[in-house]
Amino acid sequence: MNSVRPQVVISQCIEGDAVRWDGGVIGSEFVARLKPHVDVIRVCPEIEIGLSVPRDPLRIIQEADQLRLIQPSTGLDFTVKMQSFTTSFLDGLPDVDGFILVHRSPTSALRDARIYPNRKLKVAHIGKGPGFFGRAVLERFPHLALEDVGRLRNSRIKAHFLTKLFVLTRFRHAQAGQMKDLIQFHTENKLLLKAYHQKEMRVLGRIVANPERKPLQELVANYQEHLFRALQRPPRCGSNINVLLNTLGYFSEQLTGPEKQFFLDSVEQYRAARLPLSVVINMLRLWQSKYQNRYLSNQTFFMPYPAPGLANHLFSLYDYTIGLHYSRRERNEPISQSW
C-alpha cells in the first residue's frame, strides 16, 4: 500500500510557475504538502495556446447559445485554440487519478468561472460554470478525484479528495494485476467502502465473489463502475459510526465493560460534533495493535492515505472539522466554501 503514488494533474500556477495572467503564482499549503507524495503533471492551457505572461485576462462570453473564450481587451477569440489544445492534452495523458485546478479561472475552473453576456469590458456576469479546460476534464474524467485549489481549503472536501485519490490509485494498480489483486483490494478497502456507500460495497463484494465465473476483464470493468459510484460523495457521520461500532465487535471478548462504555460515549460525542473522528479511530487502532487483529490492521478506513506525514497532518484537520460539519449536514448537502 505504501508504494502507490497517485498521478495528479495540477495547474502550473499552483505552487509552481508564475504563469497567471498577472504574473502571479497561487500558494497552497495543501498542494505543497501533497507534492512529495504524488507524481505531478503540470499544465497551463493558456500558456500552451501561445499567450504570454503577463497578459490581459480572458473571459467566457455567452454568444447566442454558445460559450466563447474571449480576450475582451483585444477582441481575440481563443475558443477553437483552447478546445483543440485541451483535446490533444487529455488524449495524450497517461492513466491519471486526479486533477487539482484553479477556481474562478475561465480556463481551468471546475465550476465557478464567471460567464458574461457580451464582450464589453464593463458588464456584470450572468452566471457561473466550468472553464474551457475544466469542463473538458469534467466530461472526460467525471469519476476521478477532481477539485479546485480553493475548495481544498475545506477540511472535509480535502479529506474526501485524498481518500478518493489514493483509493483510485490503489485500484489502478490492482486492476492491472490478477484476480487475487482485485480480491485483496476489495478486502483491504471493505470498511472504507462500507463507510462511503454500504449498498455499493455489497454490490462490489458480490462482483468479487464472482459466482458466475466471469472473465477478469469483465469483472474489473463492472467493479470499477460500482467503485466510482461508491466514491461519489464523502461518507456520512452515521455511516462512519456504523463502521466504528462494527469494528468494536472485533474486540468484544478482550475489552472490559468500562472500556466499551468509554468507547460508546466517545462515539456519541463524535456524533454530537464534540469529538473528532480521529480520536475514536485511534482507540480502535490502539486495540487493533494490542490484540493483533490482522484483518483490521490492513483496513484503509483507519489510514486512507498511505504517506504517514501527509495522513497525520490531514487527519487532525479533517477529523476535527468533519465532526462539526456532520452535526449540521447529516444528509451530505454541499458544504459552503470556506474562502
Q: Which residues make up the interface to ligand SF4 (CB under 6 A)?
A: 11-13, 19-20, 44-46, 102, 105, 107-108
Provide the minimum distance between the beta carbon of 58 and ligand SF4 in the complex, in angstroms, as a whole number: 8
**Cβ closer to ligand SF4: 148 or 188?**
148
Provide the minimum distance between the beta carbon of 158 and ligand SF4 in the complex, in angstroms, as a whole number: 19
Provide the minimum distance between the beta carbon of 151 and ligand SF4 in the complex, in angstroms, as a whole number: 14
**Cβ closer to ligand SF4: 46 or 188?**
46
Provide the minimum distance between the beta carbon of 262 and ligand SF4 in the complex, in angstroms, as a whole number: 49
- C-alpha to C-alpha distance for 122 and 72, rounded to whole angstroms: 10
**Cβ closer to ligand SF4: 1 or 26?**
26
**Cβ closer to ligand SF4: 51 or 227?**
51
* Cell, residue 187: 478486502
Tell how many helices (H) and how many strands (E) occur in the chain. 14, 9
- Report yes or no: 182 and 208 within 8 Å, Cβ to Cβ: yes
- Longest CA–CA separation in the chain, Å: 75
Provide the minimum distance between the beta carbon of 74 and ligand SF4 in the complex, in angstroms, as a whole number: 17
**Cβ closer to ligand SF4: 11 or 288?**
11
**Cβ closer to ligand SF4: 105 or 175?**
105
Provide the minimum distance between the beta carbon of 46 and ligand SF4 in the complex, in angstroms, as a whole number: 4
Instruction: Report the sign of the C-alpha dihedral through residues 193, 314, 168, 224, in that order.
Output: positive
Provide the minimum distance between the beta carbon of 45 and ligand SF4 in the complex, in angstroms, as a whole number: 5
**Cβ closer to ligand SF4: 19 or 174?**
19
Provide the minimum distance between the beta carbon of 192 and ligand SF4 in the complex, in angstroms, as a whole number: 32
- C-alpha to C-alpha distance for 296 and 251, rounded to whole angstroms: 11
**Cβ closer to ligand SF4: 100 or 267?**
100
